[in-house]
Structure 1
Amino acid sequence: MATKVKDLEIFTFDQIKDEFIGEIGSTKRIKYEQELQLDVLGDMIKTVRLERNLTQEELGKLIGVQRAQISKLENNNSNFTVETILKVFGAMKAKVNFNVELMTNSQ
């Protein structure tokens, strides 16, 4: 529910997402959330790479791919496998944890 402050309606971020992207559980919302998570993953790859003082080319050589592939991973411009993600973080000596959350049918 929106709140009024001096004739200005204020909405929560969840309300905005519900209105413009779709409610939780809808196909459009699920796709949005998945893409958001992939963007975060790409940012994490870049952050760790920079912390390790590696160029994209150097990281690519460590896992056997071209610099362009690392760029695509960091910018979420490519489909990639869990195996690739594990190789990338493994080459940078970073531990990867995956969390799986089971949703009930009502969600």
Structure 2
Amino acid sequence: MRRALPAPPSSEEAQRIVGRRVRSFRRRSNLKQVDLAALAGIDRSQLSKLENGYSSPTLDVLLRVARGLERSVSDLVDGIT
């Protein structure tokens, strides 16, 4: 008998997971929000909303943030299905 797979996270929960990962990588890199925002070419307020799970970032924003963190997009979204 097959075991049921766990339900994927809601889009809101996925946003929170990505935001927590961004914040964690940023802090490990000893960057302030304003610093990462400048490296990524986005507004600090946009980064704050992303980190707090209040926005659904576009692929372009995820790419910019990942590059600013010297990470891959997969580091930010891995395991979220």
With the shorter chain as reference, the TM-score category is 0.7 to 0.9
For residue 50 of structure 1, report the CA deviation from its aligned partner: 0.3
Aligned runs of 1:1-107 on 2, under 5 Å? 33-97=10-74
Gaps (5+ residues) in structure 2?
A: 1-5
Which of the two has greater strand per residue?
1
CA deviations on 1:39-80 (whole Å, 9 max, x unpaired) are 100000000000000000001111222211110110122232
Poorly superposed stretches of 4+, deviation over 4 Å: none
Letter of the aligned partner of 2:30 in structure 1?
N
Aligned-partner Cα distance in 2 for 1:67–1:34: 23
- Per residue, is there more helix in 1 or in 2? 2
> Kindly, what percent of the aligned residue pairs are identical?
30
TM-score by length of 1: 0.58
Q: Structure 2 length as normaliser, TM-score?
A: 0.74
Aligned residues: 73
